[in-house]
Amino acid sequence: MFEITILGSSGAIPAYGRFPSCQYIQVANRFFLIDCGEGAQMQLSRFQIPIHKIQRIFISHLHGDHFLGLMGLLFSMHLQKRGSELHIHAFKGLDEIIIAQLKYSNSTLSYHLVFHTIKPENAETIYEDDALTVKSIPLYHRIACSGFLIQEKTKQRKINKDRLPAGILLQQLIALKEGKDIFDDRGTLLYKNEELTLPPPRSRSYAYCSDTSFNLEIAKQIEGVDLLYHEATFMQDEKKKAIETFHSTTADAAHIAIQSNTTELIIGHFSARYRDLEPMLKEAQNIFPNTSLAVEGQTFKISL
């Protein structure tokens, strides 16, 4: 499973039923939240997503529309007696905001909160386990801002059960999955890997590019990504406004999709000046046809 559920697609303020930025990610039995705008916990409840499954929260930057839903979510987890630790990846300063609110409300959470600081200038691995990595993507906004690139690691080869010889040992099966040939104690080849296994399932990837000016450096880092979310706050006729506010247009997002050779593009972070989003979608699709709108409640699945 590699799924992205849109919980918030609006820009600076909620508008026309659209909530500020928030997405729920399910990949390899890991459960992440990216950004946590106002109303995030309401959206999680609305779409029946259990909040205690969330293991890590990645905050792109410290503008309020990307984190003002966080404290409400943290307190709800506490009131529901969460026990497992929760990891937050964000820029320095968010930890101080959280501590201040806990201090002045005289509150102690029921679970351990682990804070990981993102460095604004670097593209680096900020989380890694045996199945995947999460890398930061330096973006170009009015304050320090980071996108996130989630990539599955190379998977194990699959055993071809139709070709398995009788009596093969468990440890030999494990070695075959790891791509190894099997030798006996004297170094004689017993089983050739390619004869008993099938290629591994492909590794998938997702890039989240939050608030940013158009910059082709982004495309270089996310080359070949399966699914790209890129902000498109304005239509192209508001390009000047986009430049002034360090945001992107629909055309900017589409050009990043082309330059990065992505398979599919999602646009979001829509300005409140747009009630009808269809013109934004069409403008992006004229450049990059495989474009979708970020719509609350919609789940995008990255297939094998």
Beta-sheet pairing, 2-8 with 158-159: unpaired
> What span, in angstroms and rounded, lies between the C-alpha atoms of 196 and 124?
37
Instruction: Select which of 65, 211, 226, 252 is catalytic.
Output: 65
Residues whose CB is less than 8 angstroms from the CB of residue 47 and which lie 6 or more positions away in sequence, other chains included: 5, 7, 24, 297
Nearest partner of 8 among 55, 52, 73, judged by Cα = 73
Residue 65 appears among annotated catalytic residues: yes
Helices 250-259 and 278-285: crossing angle in degrees, nearest 10, is 30
Longest CA–CA separation in the chain, Å: 74
Q: Which helix (H) or strand (E) holds 229?
A: strand 227-231
* Cα–Cα–Cα angle for 214, 238, 265, rounded to 5 degrees: 45
The two three-digit tokens of residue 73, written as one number = 């979510």
What is the H or E stretch that residue 150 is in?
strand 146-152
Cα–Cα distance for residue pair 58/36, rounded to 1 Å: 8
Could you list the active site residues?
65
